[in-house]
């Protein structure tokens, strides 16, 4: 059969089947899912919003959910919230973390938290069937919007619907109380758990410990660790590190080191990791106790844990801030040989540290030595050095350095502003050969012309005889629109 005849056959068959369907079904097939859902949302014939929505079994996705919520705001945010709660546990769909953030923003929950209370009240007034999944969605929204008081109010409302909180719900409310500094209420809720036959888990303890540390109640935080062990819940390195970090922040370095000893001896899940050691290193560096910080480095190596680029930067920045530049330089080989940190990461951190203490010449000299030695700098050090050179009016230095980095294939994604500061500055300073070369790099990198004063630089290049180059840049700009 010819191809065109095949197409006509299937077209006729489709039209025949559509005619056989009820008119309402055809309409729903033609209308968007969000339109249909919004229609069911407004339909009062089924007694409740949720019952009306359940009559239609759509294939939900995040775009559809956002479209429906957008149509409900600002006219009827509670209706949009009821839809969001219902959608969160439908077959084949679950809200992502992004969707909870989006719901808070679209429905204005963070600015008007009473919306949540209004929805719970409407469930109660209508005698609506409410299940545990609906309350879980509400608590997740409260967590995202950091609504401690609202979460507590909803928590106490569970009894009105003949429901009991589970461990997950307790954890959300306890965590919100701790973050708000209401440690006593968090303790009350934790004691309630055992009365109701529930047991705190590692998430519960972590929230309590972090709250106590933030409140400066370090002795109590340490005591909770013992309670955890008695309950058969072995503290993880994350929990132990939270207490250790609290000791460090408060300046109790002896207690921090004692806890570090305990973690090393305990081993297993409570063994200190790179974050634990880095926290201690940072505390010693802030106090100018570099010898102690170096001891921690050796201690890390002895326990099979290697420093990362964060620890490297903390130590180098601290040494540079106190003028120990030679010592910082010598330390780089130690990082590379004993901790497998690359020379690129070490020297990039050194460059940034020198810029922070306003040693721009030294930073540029070190950076050029890196390039000469084929040591690849990271994006941040590239961008920061170029920006500082531009801000100091050293435009030619900045351009030639950028050109060298580009020729070596080391030019990554840097701040777009740097290109424009250089381009405009070179044009106004009449360095037009360099400006044209920079414009070609921008064309190669597809840098969009998003700065109004960039066009004044293009006018100068056009007068210089680079009209073809200018046309290519303008053509690229049209593709971005």
Q: Where are the domains of the chain?
A: 1-30, 415-481
Question: What does the block give as tokens for 142?
Answer: 């409260």
Question: pLDDT tens-digit profile of 329-340?
Answer: 999 999 999 999
pLDDT at residue 26 greater than cutoff 60: no
Q: Which of 78, 73, 196 is nearest to 141 (CA)?
A: 78
| Spatial separation of the C-alpha atoms in residues 397 and 401, rounded to whole Å | 6
Question: pLDDT tens-digit profile of 117-175?
Answer: 999 999 998 888 899 999 999 999 999 999 999 999 999 999 999 999 999 999 999 99
Q: Which of 80, 88, 78 is nearest to 113 (CA)?
A: 78
At 454, give phi and psi (nearest 5°). Answer: -65, -30
Burial of 197 by CB count in 10 Å (0-12 exposed, 13-18 middle, 19+ buried)?
exposed
Question: pLDDT tens-digit profile of 70-93?
Answer: 988 888 899 999 999 999 999 889
Question: What does the block give as tokens for 280?
Answer: 């201690």
Contact 170, 193 (CB under 8 A): yes
pLDDT at residue 388 greater than cutoff 70: yes
What single-letter DSSP state applies at residue 21?
S
Collect contacts of 259-268 with beta carbons under 8 A, ≥24 apart: 259/222, 263/237, 264/303, 268/234
| Spatial separation of the C-alpha atoms in residues 186 and 429, rounded to whole Å | 64
| Spatial separation of the C-alpha atoms in residues 304 and 317, rounded to whole Å | 25
* pLDDT score for 21: 41
Contact 246, 279 (CB under 8 A): no
SS3 267: coil
Question: pLDDT tens-digit profile of 458-477?
Answer: 778 777 777 877 777 777 76
| Spatial separation of the C-alpha atoms in residues 52 and 273, rounded to whole Å | 52
Question: What does the block give as tokens for 54?
Answer: 């359940």
Query: What angle, 0 to 180 degrees and rounded to 10, lies between the N-to-C axes of helices 77-87 and 62-72?
Result: 160
Q: Which of 273, 297, 274, 283 is nearest to 246 (CA)?
A: 283
Contact 139, 171 (CB under 8 A): no
Which residues, in sequence order, are CB contacts of 131 under 8 Å at separation 6+? none
Q: Percentage of the chain with pLDDT > 90?
A: 54
What is the average per-residue pLDDT within 21-45? 60
* pLDDT score for 234: 84
* pLDDT score for 211: 92
Question: What does the block give as tokens for 49?
Answer: 């919003």
CA angle, corner 179, sides to 117 and 79, nearest 5? 20
Per the prediction, the chain carries an average pLDDT of: 86
Question: What does the block give as tokens for 71?
Answer: 């149509």
Cα separation values, 94 from 8, 84, 90, 258, Å = 41, 11, 7, 45
Instruction: Report which of residues 344 and 412 the model is more confident about.
Output: 344
* pLDDT score for 361: 94
CA angle, corner 351, sides to 345 and 356, nearest 5? 125
Q: Which of 391, 313, 323 is nearest to 357 (CA)?
A: 323
* pLDDT score for 405: 87
Peptide bond into 74 cis (omega under 30): yes
Contact 406, 371 (CB under 8 A): no
| Spatial separation of the C-alpha atoms in residues 476 and 464, rounded to whole Å | 20
SS3 273: coil
CA angle, corner 362, sides to 358 and 363, nearest 5? 75
Instruction: State the residue for tokens 């439908």.
Output: 90
pTM for the whole structure = 0.73
Distance from the first to the final alpha carbon of the chain: 46
Question: What does the block give as tokens for 222?
Answer: 């340490």
Instruction: State the residue for tokens 């998430």.
Output: 203
């Amino acid at each position: 059969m010819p191809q065109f005849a095949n197409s006509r056959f299937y077209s006729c068959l489709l039209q025949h089947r559509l005619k056989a369907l009820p008119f309402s079904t055809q309409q729903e097939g033609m209308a968007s899912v969000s339109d249909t859902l919004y229609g069911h949302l407004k339909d009062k014939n089924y007694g409740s919003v949720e019952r009306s929505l359940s009559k239609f079994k759509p294939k939900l996705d995040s775009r559809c959910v956002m479209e429906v919520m957008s149509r409900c705001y600002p006219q009827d945010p509670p209706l949009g919230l009821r839809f969001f709660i219902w959608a969160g546990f439908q077959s084949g769909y679950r809200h992502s973390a992004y969707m909870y953030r989006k719901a808070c923003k679209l429905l204005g929950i963070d600015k008007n938290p009473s919306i949540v209370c209004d929805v719970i009240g409407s469930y109660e007034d209508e005698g609506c069937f409410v299940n545990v999944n609906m309350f879980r969605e509400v608590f997740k929204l409260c967590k995202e919007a950091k609504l401690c008081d609202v979460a507590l109010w909803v928590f106490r409302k569970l009894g009105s619907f003949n429901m009991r909180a589970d461990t997950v719900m307790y954890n959300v409310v306890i965590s919100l109380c701790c973050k708000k500094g209401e440690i006593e209420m968090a303790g009350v809720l934790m004691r309630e758990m055992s009365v109701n036959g529930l047991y705190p888990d590692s998430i519960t303890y972590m929230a309590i410990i972090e709250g106590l540390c933030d409140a400066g109640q370090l002795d109590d935080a340490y005591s909770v660790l013992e309670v955890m062990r008695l309950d058969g819940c072995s503290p993880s390195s994350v929990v132990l590190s939270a207490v250790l970090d609290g000791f460090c922040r408060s300046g109790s370095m002896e207690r921090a080191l004692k806890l570090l000893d305990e973690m090393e001896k305990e081993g297993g899940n409570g063994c200190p990791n790179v974050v634990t050691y880095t926290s201690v290193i940072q505390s010693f560096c802030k106090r100018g106790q570099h010898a102690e910080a170096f001891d921690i480095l050796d201690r890390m190596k002895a326990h099979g844990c290697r420093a990362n680029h964060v620890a490297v930067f903390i130590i180098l920045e601290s040494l540079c801030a106190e003028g120990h530049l030679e010592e910082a330089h010598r330390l780089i080989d130690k990082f590379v040989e004993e901790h497998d940190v690359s020379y690129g990461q070490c020297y990039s951190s050194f460059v940034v540290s020198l810029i922070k203490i306003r040693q721009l010449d030294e930073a540029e000299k070190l950076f050029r030595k890196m390039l000469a030695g084929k040591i690849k700098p990271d994006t941040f050090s590239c961008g920061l050095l170029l920006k500082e050179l531009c801000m100091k009016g050293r435009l030619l230095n900045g351009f030639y350095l950028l050109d060298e980095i580009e020729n070596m294939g080391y030019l990554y994604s840097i701040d777009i502003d740097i290109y424009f500061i250089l381009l405009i500055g070179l044009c106004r300073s009449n360095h037009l050969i360099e400006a044209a070369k920079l414009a070609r790099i921008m064309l190669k990198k597809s840098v969009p012309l998003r700065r109004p004063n960039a066009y004044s630089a293009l006018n100068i290049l056009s007068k210089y005889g680079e009209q073809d180059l200018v046309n290519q840049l303008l053509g690229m700009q049209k593709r971005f629109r």
